[in-house]
Amino acid sequence: MNPALSLVDPENSSPKRAAILAKPNFVHRSPSRPNESWNWQASGTAEIERAVSLGRNSLPRWRATPADQRFKLLRKFADTLATHRDELANLIFREVGKPICHARGEVARAIALIESTKEQIDRDQDRQPDKTGYRREPLGLVALITPFNNPLAIPVGKFIPSLLYGNVVVWKPAIAGSAIGQRAADLFKSATDFPELLQLIVGEEETARSLIELADAVTISGSQKAGRSAQQLCIDRYLPFQAEMGGNNAAIVWNDADLQQAAAKISEGAFGFAGQRCTANRRVIVDSTIWDEFLQLLVDETRRLGWGDPADEATQVGPVISTSSRERIERVVARAEADSLQVLRPFANVQSPSGDTYFAPTIICCDDPGHEIVQEETFGPVLVAQRVKDWDDAISLCNSVRQGLAAALFSSSQRRIADFLQQARAGVLKINLSTSDAAVDMPFGGWKSSGVGPAEHGPSNREFFTRAQTIYFS
């Protein structure tokens, strides 16, 4: 894959480069640095086929490499990421507007994801069976399709275990994430003796479609629309498929909870990185007896969050990914106001940061469980507060959306905790914690429309990236 140019400053581009970029296929502008942009030419059919061919040609040699040695080679990539951690964090904040504190955390998470795979080594893959039994075999060439919001950690969490189990990978990142993708792929090539194992291509839906048509398996993180399209292609070709497709995550706050703690954790979980996390708190379901008190605490805790330039160490809430994203969120909130819903703006008296990609954290109160603001994931800094009169209603509202990625309960009652753990319909459940974030060594996957196929990470990696092969001897 060769982008027309990885990084362009419009004010300092040479005539030769300007000619190359006269008709770029895609342009992504930094959410917080308007003068900085990346121009990409979509990978053509020949480039995609070449990437697939390089990967397939390397399969026999890589599959024959013992699992322990595969891990040692992949571990060198973790060392390389650590060496370049500041560079990578700065590129993440520039490319996607992630606050620098979160960007550093993402680099650390990517390294931790690599380290965690040591516990997932399958030594049985190295043994030729001599009696009836079964083994786990790699899938072959795996297509990775990844989003902008965690442009390093999400793909690393996919391609490292895929490679560990003897597969090869072709990776298509989101356009708004292709610069960090290109840098990560370059660092991988420099760190390993098998640079052809990880190939990068660039593009959008048509590029993804072309890749899926040549792959042996597909893993994707993205929107429900993208996930459904990819799933249909995989169904047509009988391909193993894994998808994480976001969440409309609820936290229940009950009257026996530590309300201050709940408000602090939920506000950060809802608004950190401008709500552009699949596990972000989208909804908070509150016992009516503490409604007024908790709502005030929630507003107060939200005001304590730093909102502004992602380069600022104090910033927790930066810009959204693009002007069009901000405009979409504005329209959603405007419709809520038109329907006479109560809209709270904790930063109403604070000057907005400079730029057209900033949207202030917003809390919308809505008792109608069928309203758009409740049912649709905004993927922005918007939190919906819902009031309930009894516990059964709280559980019902928690489960009342089509997604099922994460859910949380804030309560000190062991009886309610046990009931929540029994009834909440989501792949990730948390007690007295925000729905946001997840451990690197535990399964991560959504239920209902939030996920298809095995979960990611931890023991689930083996479940997806290999398949059982039974062998009989006479």
**CA 171 distance to own-chain centroid:** 15
pLDDT of residue 193: 82
Q: What percent of the chain has pLDDT over 70?
A: 95
Give every CB contact of residue 177 below 8 A, 6+ residues apart in sequence: 95, 96, 146, 147, 148, 151
Q: Quick check: helix, strand or coil at residue 174?
A: coil
| Average pLDDT of span 223-243 | 96
Q: Model confidence at 399, in pLDDT bands (50, 70, 90)?
A: very high
Mean pLDDT (the chain) is: 93
Q: Is 22 a residue whose pLDDT tops 60?
A: no
Question: How many whole angstroms separate alpha carbon 83 and alpha carbon 167?
Answer: 26
Please determine whether the domains at 5-245+450-471 and 249-440 fall in the same fold group of CATH.
no
CATH number for the domain formed by residue range(s) 5-245+450-471: 3.40.605.10
| In 192-273, alpha helices (H) | 205-212, 224-237, 259-271
Between residues 37 and 11, which one has the greater pLDDT? 37
C-alpha R_g of the chain: 23
Question: How many whole angstroms separate alpha carbon 268 and alpha carbon 383?
Answer: 11
| Average pLDDT of span 240-268 | 97
Give every CB contact of residue 264 below 8 A, 6+ residues apart in sequence: 301, 304
**CA 104 distance to own-chain centroid:** 16
Element (H, E) at 470: strand 466-471
Q: Quick check: helix, strand or coil at residue 124?
A: helix
Q: Is 21 a residue whose pLDDT tops 70?
A: no
| Average pLDDT of span 3-12 | 34
Q: Is 11 a residue whose pLDDT tops 70?
A: no
| Average pLDDT of span 174-198 | 95
For residue 430, the tally of other CB atoms under 10 A from its CB is 23
**How does pLDDT run across 322-337, given as a tens digit for each residue?**
999 999 999 999 999 9
**How does pLDDT run across 280-298, given as a tens digit for each residue?**
999 999 999 999 999 999 9
Q: Is 365 a residue whose pLDDT tops 50?
A: yes
Report whether 1 contacts 199 (CB < 8 A).
Answer: yes
Q: How many helices (H) and strands (E) does the chain have?
A: 16, 20
pLDDT of residue 122: 80
Q: Model confidence at 13, in pLDDT bands (50, 70, 90)?
A: very low
404 closest CA partner among 371, 422, 426, 386: 426
CA distances from residue 110 to 42, 80, 318, 338 in whole angstroms, order as listed: 26, 11, 21, 43
For the ranges 5-19, 29-43, 132-146, the lowest mean pLDDT is seen at 5-19
**How does pLDDT run across 64-109, given as a tens digit for each residue?**
999 999 999 999 999 999 999 999 999 999 999 999 999 999 999 9
Q: Is 148 a residue whose pLDDT tops 70?
A: yes
Q: Model confidence at 150, in pLDDT bands (50, 70, 90)?
A: very high
Between residues 122 and 392, which one has the greater pLDDT? 392
- Predicted TM-score (pTM) of the model is 0.92
| Average pLDDT of span 38-47 | 94
Question: How many whole angstroms separate alpha carbon 18 and alpha carbon 9?
Answer: 10
Give every CB contact of residue 217 below 8 A, 6+ residues apart in sequence: 139, 140, 141, 142, 143, 167, 239, 240, 241, 242, 464, 465
Phi, psi of 22 (to 5 degrees): -60, -35
pLDDT of residue 20: 28
pLDDT of residue 25: 83
Q: Which two tokens stand for residue 473?
A: 């001897």
Q: At what angle do helices 153-164 and 67-83 cross, to 10 degrees?
A: 160
pLDDT of residue 9: 34
Exposure string for 64-86, b = 16+ CB within 10 A, e = fewer: eeebeebbebbbebbebbeeebe
Q: Is 461 left (phi over 0), alpha (psi -120 to 50) or beta?
A: alpha
For the ranges 118-122, 389-393, 427-431, the lowest mean pLDDT is seen at 118-122
pLDDT of residue 80: 97
- The residue extents of the domains of the chain are 5-245+450-471, 249-440
Q: Is 17 a residue whose pLDDT tops 60?
A: no
Domain 249-440 in this protein, CATH class: alpha beta
pLDDT of residue 51: 97
For the ranges 84-88, 118-122, 276-280, the lowest mean pLDDT is seen at 118-122
293 closest CA partner among 172, 384, 221, 385: 385
Report whether 439 contacts 109 (CB < 8 A).
Answer: no
